[in-house]
Structure 1
Amino acid sequence: MQSLSTDKWYRAILQRHSRRQFNGRKLPKELINGLSQFSDYIGAQIPGARAVVVTENPEKVFKGAVGSYGKVKGAPAYVAFIGDMSDPHIYEKVGYLGEYFILEATAQDIGTCWIGGFFKPDVVQEQIQVTDKEQVLAVSPLGFVNKEPSLEEKLLSGLAKSHKRKPLDSLILTYAQEPLTGWVSSGLEAARLAPSAVNRQPWRFSIEDNSVKILIDDNRNTFHIPKRLDCGIAMAHLEIAAKHYGVQGQWEYLENPEVARFTAV
């Protein structure tokens, strides 16, 4: 991903929290247009994956949806993350693209929450155009939130253990060298903070010479949400942190159970 504002996205990694309860204020038209333009920008760089901002009846998409953080309430808009299912790496691509969008929204003080299992894809497909090869893989509500989460959000967030992260050493399978330093250390810490379905944190890391490889822990896609999508989110975090440290890199997609390798260039 070419960099528009890496520092802004890096700060958003540290600031982002999943929010499902919104204050009902409409998003200004210029903000909606800006997010749509950003969606076009990132979609042009990742063939097969795209994001679409929707303002039409978001309540229908989330009606009855609960999940770990409770019901979505008061969101004036949402974003749909869509993938071409003929692409063998589409899940990680959609996670990667989607997290860049989430971080851009976070940087503009817009509340978001990844939702991969508790929404109605058939309703989304009534509101936007989806080709025969495409599938809506995830969505996120979009809207303004109160600074402090509601009591319900706090309670459900605590029950979901949403802020607890596994120690980094438990996620690293192999080391090329110890201790971790430089962009590798920064990148892995950022990847560790990535959101995932029910906070399952399925990513594992292998440290190689001048590169980091991401793998999944196993092939059990709990809650009917592919773990490779979660790993795509971690890919975005790792890349942004590396760029924040001053290191550019390239991704190489790999075969199951490996996901992708980031190599500094």
Structure 2
Amino acid sequence: MSLCFENWFKAIQIRRSRRTYTSKLIETESVTTLKDTIRNLNQLYEGVRLVFIEKSPDPVFIGAVGPYGKITGAPAYFAVIMKNENDFTYEKAGFIGQGIVLEAAMHGLSTCWVGGYFNREIAAGEVGISIEETVVAVIPVGYARKNLSLTEKMMNQVGDYHKRKSIDEIVGGLPKKQWADWLESVIRSASLSPSAYNRQSVSFFIGENKSITLMIANPDEETNVPKGMDRGIAMLHIEVATKHHQIKGQWIYEQEANLVTFQAED
């Protein structure tokens, strides 16, 4: 299985959510690569998968206006589909979804995660799912307009839409002066992961054994976009960054404690 982790590390730095797109169709070569990437991502986990829909997602957003306004003009979208709500499936859904987001960025394409405000029935009909499956998120993809829309300008003027918490705010555990050389780069990559409403609910604990544990703030809080999906996106950024630094490791899932940990090999 071939996933472009090196390219994705660069994409982490340049990716920005966009909500308005031109009508230009995605170039054929890019479509082919995106489909190949989806096939590889869909082999990673059971119970989650991606589908590429080569038509406008506008019908999926009819009557669904989120806190940041409508998304318009995209020529295509990705659907994130999940079968079961257990065994960290939301994390796995976020992981593979962010993989295709970063791959799209490498083709000059813009995207925007939408997990709360869209018509799930219309999406399910367009995507084609089994009775056991649910479309948990849609990700419009296309070429963003050169100039920001009025809504996007307002979001930037507010000043908190792209603002990230400092490393000190999101990391605990081993003092920074004792970190391995690669750890700061990995944590900074994780801190750039998008989250619903930019809530940044994921924090990190650095263990003495070169481990990174991802915790969710107020995990029992009911939200229309499960926080596990945010954690899965952060996991993908950690996976990409550790691969970039040639650090091998594995993910450890603790169901009872609701923790996910990346354990680096010695």
Is the TM-score greater than 0.5? Answer: yes
Tell me what 2:262 maps to.
262
C-alpha spacing 1:70/1:119, structure 2 compared with 1 (3 Å)? same
CA deviations on 1:194-244 (whole Å, 9 max, x unpaired) are 100111101111111121111111124454111111010000111111111
CA deviations on 1:70-94 (whole Å, 9 max, x unpaired) are 2111111111001111542110000
C-alpha spacing 1:68/1:17, structure 2 compared with 1 (3 Å)? farther
C-alpha spacing 1:115/1:160, structure 2 compared with 1 (3 Å)? farther
Tell me what 1:234 maps to.
234
Pairs within 5 Å for 1:84-95: 84-85=83-84, 87-95=86-94
Tell me what 2:139 maps to.
140
Letter of the 2:88 counterpart: H
Mean CA deviation greater in 188-197 or 158-167? 158-167
Tell me what 1:149 maps to.
148
Tell me what 1:244 maps to.
244
CA-based RMSD: 1.9
Compute the TM-score of the two structures, normalised by the length of structure 1. 0.92
Mean CA deviation greater in 90-99 or 41-50? 41-50
1:50 is paired with a residue whose SS is strand
Tell me what 2:218 maps to.
218
C-alpha spacing 1:179/1:151, structure 2 compared with 1 (3 Å)? farther
Letter of the 2:200 counterpart: Q
Q: CA deviation at 1:110?
A: 0.8
Contact 2:180/2:210 (<8 A) preserved: no
1:140 is paired with a residue whose SS is strand
2:110 is paired with a residue whose SS is coil
Identity of aligned residues (%): 35
Aligned residues: 264
Mean CA deviation greater in 194-203 or 23-32? 23-32
Letter of the 1:245 counterpart: H
Letter of the 1:45 counterpart: L
Provide the C-alpha distance between the structure 2 equivalents of 1:57 and 1:151, rounded to a whole number of angstroms. Answer: 21
Contact 2:6/2:244 (<8 A) preserved: yes
Provide the C-alpha distance between the structure 1 equivalents of 2:134 and 2:257, rounded to a whole number of angstroms. Answer: 22
C-alpha spacing 1:73/1:174, structure 2 compared with 1 (3 Å)? same
CA deviations on 1:123-155 (whole Å, 9 max, x unpaired) are 011112212221111111111113442343121
Contact 2:56/2:77 (<8 A) preserved: no
CA deviations on 1:98-118 (whole Å, 9 max, x unpaired) are 111100011111110011101
CA deviations on 1:9-40 (whole Å, 9 max, x unpaired) are 01110101110100111113443232122111
Unaligned segments of structure 2, at least 5 residues: none
Tell me what 1:35 maps to.
34
Provide the C-alpha distance between the structure 2 equivalents of 1:93 and 1:80, rounded to a whole number of angstroms. Answer: 14
Q: Which runs of 4+ in 1 moved over 6 A?
A: none
Letter of the 1:254 counterpart: E
Tell me what 1:164 maps to.
163
Tell me what 2:62 maps to.
63
Provide the C-alpha distance between the structure 2 equivalents of 1:3 and 1:221, rounded to a whole number of angstroms. Answer: 37
Tell me what 1:96 maps to.
95
C-alpha spacing 1:57/1:35, structure 2 compared with 1 (3 Å)? same
C-alpha spacing 1:253/1:144, structure 2 compared with 1 (3 Å)? same
Contact 1:219/1:257 (<8 A) preserved: no
Letter of the 2:246 counterpart: G
2:164 is paired with a residue whose SS is coil
Contact 1:86/1:133 (<8 A) preserved: no
Unaligned segments of structure 1, at least 5 residues: none
Compute the TM-score of the two structures, normalised by the length of structure 2. 0.92
1:9 is paired with a residue whose SS is helix
1:44 is paired with a residue whose SS is coil
